[in-house]
Amino acid sequence: LLTGLLFPRSIRGLLRQKKRLLLNGRNIPTSELVSPGDKLSFSLETSDFSKGQNYLPNNDRRLRILSEKEDYLLVDKPAGMKMHPHSPNETDALLNYVEAQLKGHLSRSCPAHAFMVHRIDRDTSGVVIIAKNPLAVGILDQLLAKKRIKRTYLAWVSGNLENKKGSIDQAIAVDPINPYKRIVDQAGQKAVTHWTKIHTVYQNTLVRVSLETGRTHQIRVHFAAIGHPI
C-alpha cells in the first residue's frame, strides 16, 4: 500500500488532492496496491515545501552547524534554549535562529526552511536534527522510530550509583496536579531507560543513557524516581 511510503501525512494528502501521484503513468489514490516492476512517480512544487512553515527568522544569534546535507542539518543546541516558539510572534527559539541561517539555502532545488524532527529539553544541550523540507521530516521520523538513528545522552545525577550499569522500567504519566510535569505511574505509558556509569565525583555520578522509549522528560523522571535526580 502506498500509505506505507515515507511521506508525511500532509504530503500524502497533497499528492492525493492535487492528483500528482502516478503509477505507470496513471493517477492513483494512496490506497493503491503496487507490484514488482511498477513505476511510481510524484511531483512536488516549491510552494509545497514552504507551506505550513511559519518560524520567524532571527539573525541575532548564529548556532553551530555540525553537519549539513541536502535535506537536513545537525545543529549544536545550547542549554537554556527552547526548541520551538510557543506563539507565532516568538523569535527566541532554536528554530527561529536556524530559519535565519537557512535563508538562501536550497534543498532539492526548493527553498530550505527549518522543520523540527525531534526535540530535547530546554535545559539540555546536544545535537538535534533539523529537516530542510517536509518530505525529509517523514523519512527521518521513520529512521528514528526504527532505531536507525541512535541517540545517546550524558547526565550528572546526584549520589553514587553502586552498579556499573542498569535499566529503569517504570511507566510515566502526566502529573494530575501539573499537566506540564511527568511522574512515575504504573497506569501511564511504558518507559524504559538504560544507563551505564562512567565515574563518580564528589558523590555525583556521570552516566551514559540510552532510551528504549521516548517519553517526555523520561530521563529526569526516571532518575528522580530511583533517588538519583539529575
d(CA 10, CA 157): 41
Q: For residue 187, how many other CB atoms are within 10 A of its CB?
A: 6
Among residues 38, 76, 92, 121, the one annotated as catalytic is 121
Cα angle: 160, vertex 162, 173; to 5 degrees: 75
185 is catalytic: no
- Report the candidate in 145, 70, 221 with the shortest Cα–Cα distance to residue 229: 221
Contact status, residue 65 vs residue 29, Cβ threshold 8 Å:
no
> Reduced to 3 DSSP states, what percent helix, strand and coil does the chain have, rounded to the nearest 5?
20, 30, 50
The CA dihedral of 143, 145, 148, 154, to the nearest 10 degrees, is 120
The CA dihedral of 17, 21, 25, 26, to the nearest 10 degrees, is -40
User: In sequence order, which ranges of 53-175 are alpha helices (DSSP H)?
Assistant: 94-101, 134-145
Contact status, residue 58 vs residue 91, Cβ threshold 8 Å:
yes
Residues labelled catalytic: 121
